[in-house]
Chains A and B, each alone.
Chain A
Amino acid sequence: MSPPEGLHVRLSQEAPIPLEAELSCAAGEILALVGPSGGGKSTVLRSVAGSYRPAVGRVEVEGETWFDSEAGISLPAHRRRVGMVFQSYALFPHMTALGNVMAAMGHMPAPERDERGRALLELVHLAGLEERRPAELSGGQQQRVAVARALARQPRVLLLDEPFSAVDKATRQRLTREIADLRRVLSMPVVLVTHDLDEARMLADRMTVLHRGRTLQTGTPEEVTTRPVSAEVARLVELRNLFEGRVAGHDPAAGRTMLAWAGLTIEAAPRPELAIGESVSWVLPDGYVVLHRRDRPSRGEHENPVKGTVEAALAIGQTAHIALRPLSDPSLPIHFSVPLHVAQRNGLAPGVEAAVSLLAEGIHLMPPAGRRDERG
C-alpha cells in the first residue's frame, strides 16, 4: 500500500485529544511539523516514539510496523529505534554528558560504547566536556548532548520536538546551522516539530501544517507558505494579506483570472475552473507587493496598482513593516515589508499616501473560508 521506505504515520481519534493526522517522511528528508501550540504536534511525535497510543492508526518505519490498531500491533517504546530530542532535552541529570550518550547504546557491544560516545560528542562540538553533568552545561550544550544521545541509538527515525525553543536567539541560530550541517550524515527520516516558520523554511524539505490534531497541508515550505490550500492554512502560516473577493471573469488570452476586490479589479494567476461570480479567499505573500517608488517609476507599476494611506510603519532591525489602507476600501489593509532605507527615502510614515502593485503571479485563490476549511 504505502512504500516501505521512510516514515509513514496515520492517526485518528476523537478523544481525549482529537487527531486526524497523516504524514510521511522519506529517508534523509527533514519534515517540519508546524502549527500553533496545543495543535497536537507533540502528540504525533509521541505516537511515533511509542509513549502515546492513539485509538486508531498506523505507524510504519522503513517497512517495519510499529503500530497498527487494526492488527493489534503496538511495539513498546523501548523497542522502537527512535532518536528523540525533547523540548526540555530531558537529559538524565545524574549522568555525565558521555554517560547520557552511552545510555542510548544498549544495542551495541559494551567495549565499543565509550569510543562511539566520544565520537558523537565530538560530532556535536562537545569534545572535552564528556565528564560534565547536565547541570554544569549551558542550554545550547545540553541541547547538543540531547542530539548526540538521540543519534547514539542509531535511530530509524529522528524526532526533534521544538529543539531550539529553550535557548537564546544567538544559540538558536548557531544550533540551526549545526543541524543543517548534520544533515549530511543523517540518512534517516527526520521530523522536526516547530512553531517557527523561519526554522521550518531553513531546515525542512517539506512541511506539514497541523492544527487541532488535523494535518491540513503538506508541501515544500515555499508551496505551503505561498500557496496554502485554505484560508485556515494561510492564517496558520502567518500570511497577513488574506482577503475575500469574487471571480469577475477570465482572460485566457492574457492568462489571467480577474478578481473583484475592494472596489477594484485585480488580475490574478489563471484559475479557469472557478465560476464567474464565485466568492473566493485569496492571499498575497509580502514579497509580491511592490512599492511604487517616488523617484523612479518602473514598468511593473501598471500591474494591479493600489493607492492607499500608510497606516503604520514599524521598523524591526533593517526592515520596515508597512500597512497600507487602500483608498477604495480602507478596511482592508495590505501588509508588506521593504528595507528600512527604502521606507525612509520614500517617506513612508503614518498618514502618507503611497501606491503599490500587487503582482498577479503571487495572488493565490482559494475556496472561501467556511466552505472547506472550517469544521462541520
Chain B
Amino acid sequence: MDWTALWLSLRLAGVTILFLLPLGIWAGRLLAYRDFPGKGLAEALVALPLVLPPTVFGYYLLVAFGAASPLGQLWQSVFGTPLVFTFEGLVAASILFNIPFAVQPMQRGFEAIPAEVREAAACCGMSPWQALAKVELPLAWPGILTGMVLSFAHTLGEFGIVLMVGGSIPGETRTVAIAIYDRVQAFDDAAAAEMSSLLLAISLAAIALTFAFSRRIGRRLG
C-alpha cells in the first residue's frame, strides 16, 4: 500500500470539495432558480466533463495551466511556482473536472424546493441569506451532500486528467489511482490489488450514500 499516495489522494479530494461546496451551492442555486440568456449553454458546459475524454480535458488543462499560458505565467509570478505538475495545479484541475458531479446534484436539490416555499420565506421577513440558511439549505442538503460525496469519490479515482496535469511525482502529484497503475507496471500485483479494493469500497460506499440521500429528498418533500 502506497500510504503517501493515499494520503495525497485524500488531501486532494478534501481540498477539492471544500472549494466545490460554495461553488456548487452558488451555481446549483443559480441554475435551479434563475433564467438568464445562455442558461442552456451554461448547463451544457457544466455537463461537459462528463462526456469529454479525460485525456482531452487533461490536455486542454495542461495547455491552459502551462508556463506558456497567461494563467500559468500569472500563477508563477504571484506564487513563484509553476501550476502544472504541482499539488495546487492538481487541485485546480480536480475542481474543474468535478463540476458536474458537484453542481448537478445540488441543482436538483434546490429545484426540489417549491417556488412558493421560497416566496414564503421572503414573506416571513427572511433576507436571501437567512432564507438560504433556514429554508433552502435544510431542504436541499441531501442534494448538496450527494454532490460532495460524488466529487470526493470521483477525485480519488480520476486517472487521465491527473496524469496529464500532474504527472506522477511522489508526495506531490502521485495519487492512489496513479500509484495503482505504477504498481501494475512494476508487476506488484499485491499492492495494486490492495489499493484497488480500497477504492472499490470507497466508491461503493459513496454510491450507497447518494442513493440513501436521494430517497431522503423524496420523503421530505413528497
Listed in ascending order, the chain A residues whose CB lies under 8 Å from chain B are: 46, 49-51, 76-79, 81-84, 86-88, 90-94, 103-104, 106-107, 149-150, 152-153
Contacts and interface: CB of A to CB of B under 8 A. Distances in A.
Given A78-B128, A86-B116, A87-B116, A92 B135 contact: yes
24 contacts: A49-B122, A51-B122, A77-B122, A78-B124, A78-B125, A78-B128, A78-B131, A79-B125, A82-B123, A84-B119, A86-B116, A88-B114, A90-B116, A90-B117, A90-B119, A91-B117, A92-B139, A93-B220, A94-B138, A94-B139, A94-B220, A103-B124, A103-B134, A104-B125
Nearest to A107: B125
Looking at chain A's contact residues, the main secondary structure is loop
A1 to B, nearest CB: 28
A142 to B, nearest CB: 12
Contacts of A91: 117, 120
B120 A86 contact: yes
Contacts of A104: 123-125
A103 B126 contact: yes
Nearest to A149: B124
Interface in B162-220: 220
Contacts of B124: 78, 103-104, 106, 149, 152-153
The 7 closest A-B pairs by CB, nearest first: A77-B122, A90-B116, A104-B124, A90-B120, A84-B123, A51-B119, A78-B122
Nearest to B113: A93
Interface in B107-123: 114, 116-117, 119-123
Interface residues of B, number: 21
Given A86-B119, A103-B135, 9 more contacts: A77-B119, A84-B119, A87-B116, A90-B119, A91-B120, A93-B139, A93-B220, A107-B125, A149-B124
Interface of B: 114, 116-117, 119-128, 130-131, 134-135, 138-139, 220-221
A303 to B, nearest CB: 52
A150 B122 CA distance: 12
Contacts of B128: 78
A50 B221 CA distance: 25
Contacts of B127: 76, 78
B127 to A, nearest CB: 5
Contacts of A49: 119, 122-123
A82 B135 CA distance: 18
Contacts of B122: 49-51, 76-78
A349 to B, nearest CB: 49
B57 to A, nearest CB: 38
Most buried by B among A77, A87, A88, A107: A77
Most buried by B among A82, A91, A94, A153: A94
A92 B126 contact: no
Contacts of B126: 78, 103, 106
Contact of A46 (B119, B121, B134): B119
A194 B91 CA distance: 56
A91 B113 CA distance: 11
A84 B122 CA distance: 10
A136 to B, nearest CB: 13
A190 to B, nearest CB: 15
A364 to B, nearest CB: 39
Contacts of A103: 121, 124, 126, 134-135
Contacts of A76: 122, 127
A84 B120 contact: yes
A77 B125 CA distance: 8
Nearest to B124: A104
B149 to A, nearest CB: 21
Given A93-B139, A94-B139, A106 B125 contact: yes
